[in-house]
Structure 1
Amino acid sequence: MSDEPVDGRDAEAPEEPREDAASELPDESELDGPASDPAAERPDLETDGEGVVGDRHDPTPTYPDADEEIGGIETPPDDEEMPLADHIEEMVLRLAVVLLFGAGGTAIGLLWASDAIQFVWFNVFPSGNEAPPPHLYNPLELWLTRIKISSLLGIMVALPAFVYECYLFMRPGLYPHERKYYLAAVPTSVVLGALGMLFSYVLVLPILFRYFTYYAEESADIAYSLGETFNLIITLTGFLAIVFQIPLFIMLAIMMGVTTRRWLAQKRLYFWVAFAGLSFMFTLDPTGMAPILVAVTMILLFEGTLFVLKWVGTE
């Protein structure tokens, strides 16, 4: 057999590897893995032998700064973390201040309690000086009534102190606009409460006792108990002081964006039913006259506030 190629061409010798090509090949260490170990460079990283799993857990909690935004909501500028025991201690001290004001007002009211009882008694009854005299059915009834009538003065003195102490307690957690609304609401609330007590004394109580006297004078001898009568007077007066806060609550809710005048007007029937239920719940009168008067007052305050808001163009 001939050693010459069949096609007559010379057999090509095998090419020898080029030195420049060998130099371009990657090093074996580069193919097998990274040149440096992150775990060796950063000992605080956890690894599973193949790669980095995650950062080492730091058990120390971190709190945002007072002016830092959390979830897109800016925190109040004076808000800061406090232990629960400090909050409780501050609250107790502020309540003690309020009780001190109330006790002082009640003590002062005891000096003129008897005159106040006589003045109220002969002004809420329609017959004036010819009103039926009060009757005592308990040895301590007169003293308890004096304390109750004096407590009204104590409440009137303690109410501004209570509102102000509440503001100081909540001030660090309030935003600037909330502080503005609260400070504006404090004197308004006091004035509305005083108007509610005056409204009860001048209009509601005379109508109520005129009704009681009318349906009872032809069927029985009238003998009003001093203690029970003043229980009704004080309860009704205090409840109307709260009822007169309705315009303030509505205005604050609309100013803070909680609701709108249009929505309140659309749901007015629900509010009327709620007002009637609250009146019968907190006004202890089985004849139904006192709850009706209170419910009508609440509805008039509600509708009057909506009318004023519509008149000024608030929707």
Structure 2
Amino acid sequence: MAEGNSERDSRPVSDGGVSPESDTFSGAPDDEEMPLTEHIREMIQRLLVVLFVMGAVSAVMFIIPNPSRPFADQAVEFLWYSFLDVGGNDPSACVNSPQEAVACPRVYHPLGLILTRLKVASLAGFIVALPVFVYETYLFMRPGLYPKERRYYLASVPTSLVLALVGVAFAYFLVLPIIFSYFLYYSQDVATIAFGLQETFDMILLMMGLFAAVFQIPLFIMLAIMMGLVTRRWLEQRRLLFWASFGGVAFLFSPDPTGMAPVLVAVTMIGLFESTLLLLRWTGR
């Protein structure tokens, strides 16, 4: 057996690590020394692939009609009337009696509608690009991975897409309805409510995209532990640092000045982190 493979197999097995007896490593035959410039060039190329896929999917959503209007237009209308009650969620209410339908979309910028369509299309591209990003990182790291690690990484590609869709559904069915209900309760007694199309969709799309990324947390924890980079015990000992990081990310990317949205994001991130550790403890890994 190759010397490098013996070193990998002889590493101590700690809580959450990979037991060498459970599988046989056949080595990393493609591993070789490369100049730093080659690594950077390859990394940029793979990032461009991810951006190309994201741009292509976004372009399809923004341009291709289905059957007479682009997907993005239909998505804008669907999302708006999903969260805001406009004459019993009847889109024609905004055309027939806009004064009575308080939650009708209002555009305060000449390019507001076009930019909103573009952002909706970009969200679809972002979700599709997430598993592509995971796969491209796998191709980038593949020469240095052992066969078992390669299997773990490849299995994470479809898992990434599933988790992204679960994150979007979580935001759509639970988080966003709570946020909009809170907004209405928070403002209705002191101000006349008017919803700007672009501003409202900035929050809707950011929340959906953020939760698509947040729900990747269990995947990355599992990958890191299965590949022997960390252990469950190591993560548990530093959980307060992770909690603080989650809170910082939640408040940094949230557009909600009332504080409701970042709290929900932070609680979700901590919940995913702790539930993953609990699952690992329960399974004995």
Corresponding position: 1:290 with 2:256:
no
State the 1:209 CA deviation. 0.8
Distance 1:85 1:260 in 2: 32
Aligned to 1:155: 126
1:77–1:283 Cα change, 3 Å = same
Preserved contact between residue 132 and residue 157 of structure 2 (Cα < 8 Å): no
Preserved contact between residue 51 and residue 129 of structure 2 (Cα < 8 Å): yes
Aligned to 1:169: 140
State the 1:200 CA deviation. 0.7
Preserved contact between residue 142 and residue 227 of structure 1 (Cα < 8 Å): yes
Distance 1:154 1:172 in 2: 28
Preserved contact between residue 76 and residue 117 of structure 2 (Cα < 8 Å): yes
Distance 2:85 2:103 in 1: 10
Preserved contact between residue 126 and residue 210 of structure 1 (Cα < 8 Å): no
Which amino acid counterpart does residue 202 of structure 1 have in structure 2?
Answer: F
Equivalent of residue 306 in structure 1, options 265, 272, 277: 277
State the 1:283 CA deviation. 1.3
Q: Which has the higher contact order (CA 8 A, sep 6+)?
A: 2
State the 1:308 CA deviation. 1.9
1:152–1:81 Cα change, 3 Å = same
State the 1:216 CA deviation. 1.0
Aligned to 2:32: 80
In structure 1, runs of 5+ residues without a counterpart are 1-66
CA-based RMSD: 2.7
Q: Give TM-score, length-normalised by structure 2.
A: 0.76
Preserved contact between residue 126 and residue 209 of structure 1 (Cα < 8 Å): no
1:298–1:220 Cα change, 3 Å = same
Preserved contact between residue 122 and residue 131 of structure 1 (Cα < 8 Å): no
Distance 1:97 1:261 in 2: 33
Aligned to 2:74: 115
Aligned to 2:16: none
Range with greater deviation from structure 2 (142-151 or 130-139): 130-139
Equivalent of residue 278 in structure 1, options 240, 249, 261: 249
Corresponding position: 1:98 with 2:50:
yes
Query: In structure 1, the residue corresponding to 2:191 is in which secondary structure?
Result: coil
1:93–1:259 Cα change, 3 Å = closer
Equivalent of residue 83 in structure 2, options 124, 128, 149: 124
Deviations 1:252-310 (A, max 9, x none): 23223343334434443443333222211221222110011111111221222222222
State the 1:132 CA deviation. 0.2
State the 1:97 CA deviation. 3.4
Distance 2:268 2:80 in 1: 23
Aligned to 2:205: 234
Instruction: Decide which structure has greater helix share.
Output: 2
Query: In structure 1, the residue corresponding to 2:249 is in which secondary structure?
Result: helix
Q: Percent same amino acid at aligned positions?
A: 57
Aligned to 1:43: none
State the 1:93 CA deviation. 4.2
Distance 1:297 1:70 in 2: 39
Distance 1:275 1:89 in 2: 31
State the 1:188 CA deviation. 1.5
Which amino acid counterpart does residue 120 of structure 1 have in structure 2?
Answer: L
Preserved contact between residue 128 and residue 161 of structure 2 (Cα < 8 Å): no
Q: Give the number of equivalent residue pairs.
A: 248
Distance 2:284 2:6 in 1: 35
Task: Please list every run of at least 4 consecutive aligned residues from structure 1 whose deviation after the TM superposition is greater than 6 angstroms.
Answer: none
Equivalent of residue 200 in structure 1, options 156, 171, 174: 171
Distance 1:312 1:160 in 2: 26
Distance 2:107 2:77 in 1: 14
Aligned to 2:239: 268
1:253–1:85 Cα change, 3 Å = closer
In structure 2, runs of 5+ residues without a counterpart are 10-26, 63-69, 90-100
1:86–1:280 Cα change, 3 Å = closer
1:267–1:103 Cα change, 3 Å = closer
Preserved contact between residue 126 and residue 206 of structure 1 (Cα < 8 Å): no
